[in-house]
Structures are given as structure tokens and as C-alpha cells.
Amino acid sequence: MLDHGIHHGEDEANDVSTLHTSEATNLLEDIPGEIFLHIASFLDDIADILALRMTCSATYQLTHDKALFLSFLRFQKRFLPLPPSCTDEAIVALSLQEVERLVVSAHRIDRTWLLPRPPPLSPNLLPKFSIERGFHGADGGGAKTILGMEVFLERWLLCVYQERLVELWDLHPEGILPGSSETDANGHIQTVCCMSAQLKGAGPYSSSSTCLNDDNDSLILAVTSNEGCLFLRIQLPIPSVNGTAVEAGIEIIVVLPMPTPMLLVRALYPPGNLAIISHSNSFILLNWGTSERWEVDTSNPDEEELWNGIIGAKFLSARHILCIKVHCIELCTLPALPSRSKTTQRDTIQQEARIRAHVVTYTLPRTTFRGGSFSAPHTLSQPDPSPTEWSTTRMSISFLAFDIIRGLFHYRVSVDLPCPPMSPPPSCISKEAPAPPHMAVYLVAAHHMAVPAGASASSHSGSMRVPRSGLTPGSRGFVTSCVLGQTGRRGVWVERRRGSVRRGIVGFATARDALEEDGLNERATNGTQQAGQIGATGGTDERDSDPNWWENGVEPGIDGRTVYEINSYDLRDDITHCAFAEATGRIVLGTRNGRIQVLR
């Protein structure tokens, strides 16, 4: 009798549930399609749309709407890195299936790219194309030393080796939209080597730098050696507008002699054919189009004797360069470069000129940076150019920099750059001076490796021997390599565990509001400017520029997730380089002996 009552109650509950479901379905069917899509656009998760699609045939049809998924895609572009081909004009031309697949793929990658990954796979070493136009074909044998490794357009991996070898790989032969590549029968990931070129010459390469050209169809590569600075153009195998196949190729642009072989190439700027080569704390500006060379004077008479060399540089414009130094961050503004006579031949090197740069400095006296990685510059506001008045362009850029002892630091830099009038009258030029550049530096997050000895000693009884560095060693070890995505929203670093042979590959995602202008204003520390004879040098007080993070704990930590760990018993298998496709989440590792490994 009791069992009969229980079953009877369950039947009534099921009937009520079915009745409510049918009523809800009828209500959904009665809602006009425009109102339903407007309500659905307020959902934050694409998984809710896919779940709503399964409720009834009416919602199934309504959720197959291109405008709905375009709104989700525009929402994702605010917070998630997407392939560079997803411009506003390009996504409108996509079909409903392509837009939906792109939205779902971005959502899936955002949820899964920080999860633990299977062991890395080595790509197939057989090249797809043999480049023999004036170069020796590479046989791929023997140990190699990687100088530079970078992913472009989420697809093309360029590796430059010290042994004068250049390789171009296609990480997604079937296109980026599927998001993953299968492996062949031998367990190799289907990453195609599009080009392998052994360049002629004497002596190894000492440094390299690569960037995309303006049309995003080729790469500009600069390498330094005892022969000078060699500029090359690498054609990407991207189908042309008419659909014809284009093979990868490489050609020499120019070879420029250098005053000393100790100079290292730091950054390139294809719109102006400009390159930066540096040694210690000074740098030289090259124009590979006209073969001109300028020595840039950024010295500060008040600077201490502490060595403060350049470890990274990035062009913000043809006249503005952001430099990461060992103990500071500098924004260098170049003067207007004199135009060269068209009658002068390019292969004739003019006498080196010396120019003075206006410098704004943000001092970090407590750090000793050893490496870093930039995101792409992003224009926040750019007013329409005025024919008679100066205007201001606001830009932002992020970078990662690591200190061997302290750890990893994620910074965001906001700059205001003065833009001259298009055609100012002489009276305007004589009366009005350009506003000086302004730079504000924000510490977004940090991953600390050690704690100051004074802070930790207070919690222990007895006397302790304080290390010379003033920091107690932590259990994390130190960072050996790092890379930041083009949008600055995702990054990867390689960390060595202290007291073991384990190497951890750690990924992180920046908080959604961390890179917003308003979210960082409260923690801003702005660099000021001081006039000098050779320009302007800005600086802040040591207490303001580098606060005691171990005392207040205001700055958030980098929420890193270990995606893979490697036991490198042999130093030749140690990871020295890493590259990162930010939108797809694919990580490429380079070992000390030149081997490439891909983490899916």
C-alpha cells in the first residue's frame, strides 16, 4: 500500500513536470523571433545557446541565426584572442556555419587550453618544399642552436638557427578553423615544413628578429653575424587573391655592415624600413631601404654606474621606441630623420650620423630583468589629423619580463604620443611646441619566486644568515623562457623546479578587466619628465616606482597553470625557447640541441 502511494506520487510529479515543460515550450513558441533573439543575446555563455537549442524545434530554428552568433563573436573579441583574420569585415562575409564554428571553437579553447596536455610531439622533419635558389638545402642532421622562434598569424612558425639555417613550418595545414591537427601513423603531428634554407656565408648568426610586413603575406627577417646585418624577405605560402598557390621562398634584401660584430638586432619596423641594433645600453638605427645608419644617444648624465643594458625593444611608431632594460623601462622619441637624396645609391653607406633622443624613464631599481616578450601595440584613441593643430594618439602595449631571482612580471604600458599637424602654417610652427610624450606603467600581475629575507625571518625563531641578494630561495626555481600573446591576454613561460630536473610549462590567462584602462588607474604609477641637455629623462622616486609587494600584497599574482612537465636529465634536452599561438592555444618548445616539440 505504501509502495503504491509512492509510485502514485511519482506519477503525479512526472505529470506536473511534463505539463510545465509543455507550457514552457508553448510560451517559447509564442514569443516573436526578434524578441527571442534579443533576449538570447544577453546570455554570456555560448553553451547556454547550444543547450537552449535542444529544448524544442522552435528554439532549434531560432538559434540558427547568423546575427545571434555575430553578436557572440563581437563579445568574444573584447575578452578572447581570436585569429588575426577575424576582422570586422571578414566575419560579416562568413557563412552561418563558419561563424558558429568559430564561436564554439573560441569558447572551447578558452575552457580547455590551460588543462594538462599529453606529451609533446615532434613534427615531421621532411620539408614540403626545397629552397635551392642560391642556398644550400638543409639536411636536418646534427645538433643545432635555436636563436629565435616565433609564431605568426597563429599558423606560421619561423625558426632561426645559429648555424645559418632558417625553417618555416605550417602548424595548421588544413586551416585554423578546425583548431587541431591529427597525427600520422608514426605519431608525428601533421605540421608541414614549408621551407628549409641553409644560407651561405662565414661564421654563425649571433641574433635575429622577425616581423610581418604591411600586407601580412611575407616576413622580414634580420640576422647579425661577423659579415654585418643581413635583411631577408620570406614569402608565406598563402593563396593569392585569385586562388593560385604560392610557394614559400626566401630572398636577400640587403646586407649592411656594422661598426662592431657585438651588436644584436632587437626590433624591426617594416613601414619605415627601420631596424634597431644594440650593444649594452646604446643602440643604432638602421634603414635597410636607404642603407642609412644613425647612432642614437640616450645617455643620462645622472645615471649611476650600475649596468643597465637593453634586453628588448618594440617600435610603437617610426619615431617612438619602447625599450626594456635591466633596471628600467624607457620610451625613446627620435627626432625627425633627414630625408636622403634620391640620387644616392642604396649600397653606398653614408657616414654614421649621431642623433639625440627624448627619453622618458620608468625606473625599477630592485629588479634585474634577463628576458622579456612584447604584445602587439594597440591604439586606444586616435583623433582625426588636424591641418593646423597638434593631436594626441593613445596607445597601450603589454610585456612579460623575468628576473632570475624575483620571478615573472606582467606589465602594461600606456603612452600618449603627439601627432603633428598635416600642413601647419609657419606661424603655427613658431608659436606651438608639441606636447611631450607621456608614459604610464602598470604592474598587472606578478609571479614571485622568492621572498625578502627580512619578511620571512620574522616568522622564524633564532638567527638566520641573510643571503647576499636579500631574498630567500623559494621552491619554484627560476624562469628560463617566456612568451606573451599578441593581444596580451594569454602567455606561457618555462620554469625550472629548484633542486630537481623537472621543467614546467606554465600557461596563464589575464583577468578580463586587468588590461582595461579604468581597471588599472587606481594602481597607476606614472613616469615624470625632467629636462636635460640631450633630451628629457623621466624618473620616479624609488619608493613609488618599485613598491614593497611583499608587505602590502596589493598586486595580484599571475594565475599560472602547469600544462606539462618534462624531466630533462640531459642538458641538451633542456627547453631554451618557446613560441605560442595565442588564439589556438598551441605551444611550441625548442630544446638546447635545436629540436622542436609541439604541445597540442
What is the DSSP annotation of 424-487?
--HHHHHH--PPPPEEEEEEEEEEE--EEHHHHHTTS-S--PPPTTSEE--SS-EEEEEEE-TT
Cβ atoms of 566 and 118 closer than 8 Å: no
More confident residue, 77 or 528: 77
Residue 70 has pLDDT above 80, yes or no: yes
Radius of gyration of the chain (CA): 28
Longest Cα pair distance anywhere in the chain, in angstroms?
Answer: 108
Predicted confidence at residue 23, as pLDDT, reads: 54
Predicted confidence at residue 297, as pLDDT, reads: 82
What SS3 state is found at 507? strand
Cβ atoms of 286 and 277 closer than 8 Å: yes
Range picked from 12-26, 126-140, 396-410 for highest mean pLDDT: 396-410
DSSP category for residue 497: P
Predicted confidence at residue 137, as pLDDT, reads: 41
Lowest mean pLDDT among 24-28, 167-171, 333-337, 590-594: 24-28
The confidence band for 181, taking pLDDT boundaries of 50, 70 and 90, is very low
Placement of cell 621551407 in the chain: 195
Lowest mean pLDDT among 233-242, 420-429, 512-521: 420-429
Q: How many CB atoms lie within 10 A of CB 447?
A: 22
Cβ atoms of 448 and 455 closer than 8 Å: no
Predicted confidence at residue 408, as pLDDT, reads: 93
| Nine cell digits for residue 146 | 635555436
Mean pLDDT of 406-435: 71
Cβ atoms of 469 and 455 closer than 8 Å: no
Domain 136-336+352-373+391-460+473-599 class in CATH: mainly beta
Predicted confidence at residue 262, as pLDDT, reads: 85
The confidence band for 188, taking pLDDT boundaries of 50, 70 and 90, is very low
Predicted confidence at residue 213, as pLDDT, reads: 93
Predicted confidence at residue 429, as pLDDT, reads: 43
Predicted confidence at residue 589, as pLDDT, reads: 95
More confident residue, 161 or 517: 161
Predicted confidence at residue 323, as pLDDT, reads: 95
CA distance 413 to 364: 14
| Nine cell digits for residue 359 | 627619453
The confidence band for 405, taking pLDDT boundaries of 50, 70 and 90, is confident
The confidence band for 46, taking pLDDT boundaries of 50, 70 and 90, is confident
More confident residue, 211 or 557: 211
Mean pLDDT of 564-568: 88
Residue 525 has pLDDT above 50, yes or no: no
Range picked from 40-49, 136-145, 205-214, 490-499 for highest mean pLDDT: 205-214
| Nine cell digits for residue 115 | 588543462
pLDDT in tens, 248-284: 899 999 999 988 878 999 999 999 999 999 987 788 9
Domain residue ranges in the chain: 35-112, 136-336+352-373+391-460+473-599
pLDDT in tens, 571-595: 788 899 999 999 999 999 999 989 9
| Nine cell digits for residue 458 | 620574522
Residue 459 has pLDDT above 50, yes or no: no
Q: For helices 46-53 and 96-112, what crossing angle results, to 10°?
A: 120
More confident residue, 321 or 239: 321
DSSP category for residue 593: T
CA distance 31 to 61: 13
Predicted confidence at residue 161, as pLDDT, reads: 96
CA distance 367 to 545: 11
Q: 175-189 as b/e, with b when 16 or more CB fall inside 10 Å?
A: ebeebebeeeeeeeb
Range picked from 45-49, 323-327, 404-408 for highest mean pLDDT: 323-327
Predicted confidence at residue 462, as pLDDT, reads: 47
Predicted confidence at residue 421, as pLDDT, reads: 66
What phi, psi does 445 have (nearest 5°)? -165, 165
Residue 342 has pLDDT above 60, yes or no: no
Average pLDDT, the chain: 78
Predicted confidence at residue 152, as pLDDT, reads: 96
Q: What is the pTM (predicted TM-score) of this model?
A: 0.82
Range picked from 153-167, 339-353, 430-444, 474-488 for highest mean pLDDT: 153-167
Predicted confidence at residue 352, as pLDDT, reads: 67
Residue 233 has pLDDT above 70, yes or no: yes
> How far is CA 571 from its chain centroid?
28
User: How many angstroms separate the first and last alpha carbons of the chain?
Assistant: 60
CA distance 418 to 560: 37
Cβ atoms of 443 and 519 closer than 8 Å: no
Predicted confidence at residue 202, as pLDDT, reads: 84
Predicted confidence at residue 113, as pLDDT, reads: 95
The confidence band for 535, taking pLDDT boundaries of 50, 70 and 90, is very low
The confidence band for 140, taking pLDDT boundaries of 50, 70 and 90, is very low
The confidence band for 66, taking pLDDT boundaries of 50, 70 and 90, is confident
How is the beta sheet containing 274-279 ordered, strand by strand? Answer: 264-269, 274-279, 282-287, 292-297, 353-356
Look up residue 444 and give its amino acid. V
